[in-house]
Structure 1
Amino acid sequence: MSSATSVTYEEEIVTSSAARKVLAALRLTTGFIFLWAFLDKTFGFGFSTASEKAWIHGGTPSQGFLGHLDPAKPLTGFFSSIASPVTDVLFMLGMLGVGLAVMLGIGTRVAAWSGSIIMALMWLAEFPLITGEDAATNPLIDYHVIYSLILVVVALTYAGDTWGLGRWWKSLEIVQKNRWLI
């Protein structure tokens, strides 16, 4: 890199074509995790949700999760007490909204905050992580933490600009006036 340019080595790496494509792939796969959670819990495709427990068949997505927490965990009482049809709707809208926003590459800042809050609450509901036969592989860090960090990376690196609608989204007047919508 010549001394005449003001781009640093680190900026060149983050803006390289290969890095942009990897970030886009990370964005799409993570977005699909959230979108799939919504779809499977809504329609009961039989992966994590059986058909008879699907939301469209009267299943209760958040109540099911919150109602089956280990009673020995310190926050089970709190999380069990908030389980309701309202938390079902909020959880499902959150999964759909985060999944679509991240996959489309729009509103990634809002999706990063929303998705990270959902993941943090789910992490807290299961804390401390399982020990024994069904033990987690790490006592503190699990996929909830990793997904939260990925969402933040996606938002901070404008990963929605590659293979997504991010550039178009950022050009909208409402987004120009309200940068938090990026």
Structure 2
Amino acid sequence: MATTSITTSSPTPATAHRASGAGQVALAVARIGLGFVFLWAFLDKMFGLGYGTGSAKSVLNGGSPSKGFLSHVNVGPLQSFFHSIAGVGIVDWIFMISLLGIGVAMILGAGLRIAAVSSVVLLLGMWAAEWPMAQFAADGTASGSQNPFVDYHIVYALLAVVLGFFATGSRLGLGHWWSTLGVVRKHPVLV
């Protein structure tokens, strides 16, 4: 009786971080979706489209995108810190530029590694401001937290890490073209 052995090949280091064709398309769609989350937040805050930000509170009408959110933080150990930076001009600028930059980079598929790191930093800050570990706010009311550790900020941050790691910009994006630019070839962190 003959025996056969089944061997499975491990991915080589060069291909270990590549997804299959269908996987690449799925990651590209997820990348574009996550990019649109950031870009929409920017557009709504800039123009006051009436979803999260009313017209009167838009940046174009003198509104502060950080003041409304950060001044109402009422949970967690960083509460006073967030209150102290609420409405500060440089914080508003950094926040808006981050939303725009992350959104555009994710949608276009260019600069994904920087966008991934930036989005993780931004999302972890927002997670800390909402502090989902708290069941009750400082005034004793229910915080509304549904999970003490993993909320949408963490899920989005994890997705951003995956997208930055897999560098999915060539599918449904400009990633291939972007990676051929001299400055990007010289500084691979810009992929």
When normalised by structure 1's length, the TM-score is: 0.89
Q: Which amino acid aligns with 1:139?
A: P
1:112 matched residue in structure 2: 116
CA contact (8 A) 1:102 1:108 kept: yes
Q: Tell me the distance in 1 between the aligned counterparts of 2:78 and 2:152.
A: 19
1:76 pairs with 2:79:
yes
- Aligned counterparts of 1:97 and 1:25: Cα–Cα separation in 2: 18
1:152 counterpart residue number: 161
Is 1:35–1:99's contact at 8 Å kept on the other side of the alignment? Answer: yes
The correspondence of residues 114-133 of structure 1 with structure 2, limited to 5 A, is 114-129=118-133, 131=135
Rounded Cα–Cα distance in structure 1 between residues aligned with 2:95 and 2:157 = 16
Is the counterpart of residue 22 in structure 1 residue 26 in structure 2?
Answer: yes
The one-letter code of the counterpart of 1:122 is: M
Does the 8 A contact of 1:63 with 1:87 survive in 2? no
Indicate the residue corresponding to 2:146 in structure 1.
137
Equivalent position amino acid for 2:65 in 1: P
Deviation at residue 12 of structure 1 after TM alignment: 8.9
Q: Which residue of structure 1 lines up, in the alignment, with residue 44 of structure 2?
A: 40
Report the Cα offset of residue 87 of structure 1: 0.4
Alpha-carbon distance in 2 for matches of 1:74, 1:6: 46
1:119–1:147 CA contact under 8 A, matched in 2: yes
The whole-number CA distance in structure 2 between the counterparts of 1:136 and 1:82 is 23
Paired residue type of 1:38: F
Q: Give, in whole Å, the separation in 2 of the partners of 1:90 and 1:12.
A: 35
Q: Is the 8 A contact 1:20 1:162 kept in 2?
A: yes
Q: For the residues of structure 1 that align with 2:18 and 2:165, how far apart are their CA atoms?
A: 11
Higher Rg: 2
Distance across 2 between alignment mates of 1:32 and 1:113: 17
Deviations 1:103-158 (A, max 9, x none): 10000000011111011111111214453656222111111111111111111112
Is 2:69 the partner of 1:60?
Answer: no
Other structure's SS at 2:66 match = helix
| Unpaired segments ≥5 residues, structure 1 | none
Which has the larger share of helix?
A: 1
Q: What code does the residue aligned with 1:126 have?
A: E
Q: Following the alignment from structure 1 to structure 2, what is the Cα–Cα distance between the partners of residues 13 and 31?
A: 21
Cα contact 1:13–1:19 (8 A) shared by 2: no
Q: Distance in 1 between matches of 2:188 and 2:129?
A: 32
* Number of residue pairs aligned between Structure 1 and Structure 2: 177
Aligned-partner Cα distance in 2 for 1:129–1:99:
28
Query: How far does residue 177 in structure 1 lie from its aligned partner after superposition?
Result: 0.6
Give 3-state SS (helix, strand or coil) of 2:146's partner. coil
